[in-house]
């Protein structure tokens, strides 16, 4: 394998991994802190992509469209938490699975009613629509690099917020002992609502910024959801660090799986997960 070709695959793998991390971090936070298995998380990814696509018909800047899509996603996330998820904190995990499964159906149908069953694309914004030439035949699109940079910056920002701020302290405390946090007089309802909304925003943002390189279509939320669960479980449920490493591992496994064994690409992701869980039954960082 050519060294440049290899490097490009590594960059693709890392870029996909960073994107997966953005989606999966919300999922793992919501599970770690609130104890909720949220199957509708992938729907927020879809929501972000479709909102951006829809807003782009009115505003002509991708940046502005994404900026407008985020508060809408946050509001939808907060409302769902306040109206439905809140009822389920003391219930069995399987009730949560069932309720959020119902939500997926509603999201998918709402998407079909509002935007139809077609697959759409979003143009790469001007200024980022060129490629860096690596060799005679190979080049690398700048948008993918920008995407990786944004994801990496957000991951770094998340690290700072969680490690250095009071809100982050509550989150860490909530992840290790929920009841104790409530006993300390922290407004848990508000904290949970905020975590859910932040998770929704992170997923929506990922869907929006990935839209120019992936297509937007029905069912996009379902496929990302399953991959994100794989990431979360490999890393150890509730662990942000684990989600980060798990995401990179899956990003690289998927990319190289597609290059080396195109017929069994999807097999590789699940193969990695099976091996990890058989060696460490509670994930890498539980």
Shortest Cβ 265–other proteins spacing (Å): 8
Find the binder of other proteins among 7, 59, 75, 105 (CB under 8 A).
105
**Residue 172 contacts residue 164 (beta carbons within 8 Å):** no
Shortest Cβ 46–other proteins spacing (Å): 14
Give a three-class secondary structure readout of 130-162. Answer: CEEECCCCCEEEHHHHHHHHHHHHHHHHHHHHH
Q: Does 273 bind other proteins (CB under 8 A)?
A: yes
Find the binder of other proteins among 99, 162, 181, 194 (CB under 8 A).
99
Whichever of 98 and 155 has its CB closer to other proteins, that residue is 98
**Residue 251 contacts residue 50 (beta carbons within 8 Å):** no
Between 29 and 68, how does the x/- string for binding to other proteins read (CB under 8 A)?
A: --x-----x-------------------------------
Specify the 3-state DSSP secondary structure of 141: strand
Span between the terminal Cα atoms of the chain, in Å: 36
Q: Give the count of beta carbons closer than 10 Å to the beta carbon of residue 156.
A: 10
Size of the site for other proteins (CB under 8 A): 42
Q: Does 6 bind other proteins (CB under 8 A)?
A: no
Cα 153 from Cα 148, distance rounded (Å): 8
Q: Exposed, middle or buried: residue 164 (CB in 10 Å: 0-12, 13-18, 19+)? A: exposed
Q: Does 237 bind other proteins (CB under 8 A)?
A: yes
Core vs surface per residue 237-266: b (16+ CB within 10 A) or e: bbbbebbbbbbbbbbbbbbbbbbeeeeebe
Whichever of 15 and 268 has its CB closer to other proteins, that residue is 268
Find the binder of other proteins among 64, 97, 138, 213 (CB under 8 A).
97
Q: Does 116 bind other proteins (CB under 8 A)?
A: no
**Residue 246 contacts residue 285 (beta carbons within 8 Å):** no
Q: Does 189 bind other proteins (CB under 8 A)?
A: no
Between 127 and 166, how does the x/- string for binding to other proteins read (CB under 8 A)?
A: ----------------------------------------
**Residue 53 contacts residue 169 (beta carbons within 8 Å):** no
Look at residues 246, 244, 250, 240 and name the one whose alpha carbon lies nearest to residue 280.
246
Between 65 and 84, how does the x/- string for binding to other proteins read (CB under 8 A)?
A: -------------------x
Whichever of 130 and 267 has its CB closer to other proteins, that residue is 267
Whichever of 187 and 266 has its CB closer to other proteins, that residue is 266
**What count of Cα atoms within 13 Å lies in the side-chain half-sphere of residue 196?**
26
Q: Does 228 bind other proteins (CB under 8 A)?
A: no
Phi-psi region of 283 (alpha: psi -120 to 50; beta: other; left: phi over 0): left
Q: Does 230 bind other proteins (CB under 8 A)?
A: yes
Cα 200 from Cα 221, distance rounded (Å): 12
Which residues lie near other proteins (CB under 8 A)? 31, 37, 84, 87-88, 91, 93-95, 97-99, 101-106, 108-110, 112-113, 222, 226, 229-230, 233, 237, 263-264, 266-267, 270-271, 273-274, 277-278, 281-283
């Amino acid at each position: 394998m050519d060294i440049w070709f290899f490097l490009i695959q590594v960059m693709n793998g890392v870029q996909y991994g960073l994107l997966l991390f953005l989606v999966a971090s919300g999922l793992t936070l919501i599970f770690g802190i609130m104890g909720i298995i949220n199957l509708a998380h992938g729907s927020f990814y879809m929501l972000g992509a479709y909102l951006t696509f829809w807003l782009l018909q009115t505003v002509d800047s991708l940046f502005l469209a994404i900026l407008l899509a985020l508060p809408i996603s946050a509001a939808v996330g907060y409302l769902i938490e306040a109206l439905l998820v809140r009822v389920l904190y003391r219930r069995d995990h399987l009730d949560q699975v069932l309720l959020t499964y119902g939500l997926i159906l509603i999201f998918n149908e709402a998407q079909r009613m509002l935007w139809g069953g077609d697959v759409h694309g979003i143009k790469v914004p001007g200024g980022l629509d060129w490629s860096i030439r690596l060799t005679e035949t190979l080049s690398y699109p700048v948008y993918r690099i920008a995407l990786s940079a944004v994801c990496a910056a957000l991951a770094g920002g998340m690290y700072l917020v969680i490690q250095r701020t009071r809100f982050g302290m509550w989150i860490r405390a909530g992840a290790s002992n929920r009841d104790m946090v409530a006993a300390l007089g922290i407004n848990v309802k508000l904290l949970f609502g905020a975590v859910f909304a932040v998770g929704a925003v992170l997923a929506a943002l990922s869907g929006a910024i990935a839209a120019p390189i992936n297509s937007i279509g029905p069912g996009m939320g379902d496929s990302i959801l399953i991959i994100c669960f794989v990431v979360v479980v490999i890393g150890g449920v509730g662990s942000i660090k684990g989600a980060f490493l798990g995401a990179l591992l899956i990003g690289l496994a998927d990319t190289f799986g597609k290059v080396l064994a195109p017929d069994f690409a999807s097999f590789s992701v699940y193969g990695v997960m099976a091996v990890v869980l058989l060696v460490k039954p509670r994930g890498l960082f539980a």
